[in-house]
Amino acid sequence: MEKTVSKAIAYRRSTRVFKDEPIDSEKVKQCLVNASLAPTSSNLQLWEFYHITDRETLKKLAEACFNQSAAKTAKQLVVIVARKDLWRQRAKANIEFLNKVYDKPDLSERDLKRKKMATNYYNKLIPTIYTDFLGILGYIKFLVFQVVGIFKPIYRQTRLSDMRIVAHKSAGLAAQNFMTSMAAIGYDTCPMEGSDTLRVKQILDLPRVSEINMIISCGIRDDKGIYGPRFRVPFESVYFEV
């Protein structure tokens, strides 16, 4: 029986040693389907998920992860990749979806207005935000928006670095969906920061503009794979009701 969300979150621990037991690739794949349902900025879904089950590739990736035990003992690996460069394709996909949704006769005035607003968003606003050239346009937009922001609220994150952060935020939300889903079915994970990301991209034959968000090792926890009791700073120190 699958765990509830709260139980899955409580169960999830970063597992650094896995048992020498296989896990079901199809179940892991379904957890990645759940990952794809995560919230994402402007519904652009600027992510890709690489599910590694091939032994030779697992070995190469473990070496790229400095042979840390979480990578060496993993039965499968998942690499979450941020793809900010795909914004045009994703915007186009959203527009095509909207056209299908509203492809019916006698649309109400409300639906016509909603369709126009949404298509304008992807045809005009998204290109305004994401279009850049060597980071120069981003800084120009940033400065212009700072001036406009003196007079009214405005979106200010327009630099190349800002848009990278946006893509990585969404990828991180997808990664959390994945790890919680894995915990719900009794599988364990460990999100790893430590890796040679250039080598990882070469192993997976990823384009230069792609960025590794995180590598997640997968398996079933060994008793020695949890390195101690969970510690969190007091909740009162991070919670503020306004």
117-169 pLDDT per residue, tens: 999 999 999 998 898 888 788 888 888 888 888 888 888 888 888 889 999 99
Residues of the chain with pLDDT under 70: none
The pLDDT of residue 144 is 84
The pLDDT of residue 142 is 83
**What's the rounded Cα separation, in Å, for the pair 75 and 132?**
40
Q: Which of 223, 229, 218 is nearest to 70 (CA)?
A: 218
**What's the rounded Cα separation, in Å, for the pair 12 and 209?**
32
**What's the rounded Cα separation, in Å, for the pair 74 and 53?**
10
Domains of the chain: 5-86+166-226 (3.40.109.10)
The letter for the amino acid at 49 is: F
Q: Which of 220, 211, 218 is nearest to 80 (CA)?
A: 211
Structure tokens at 219: 């398996």
163-178 pLDDT per residue, tens: 899 999 999 999 999 9
The pLDDT of residue 225 is 95
The pLDDT of residue 241 is 96
**What's the rounded Cα separation, in Å, for the pair 25 and 17?**
19
**What's the rounded Cα separation, in Å, for the pair 43 and 46?**
9
The letter for the amino acid at 17 is: V
Structure tokens at 139: 């800084």
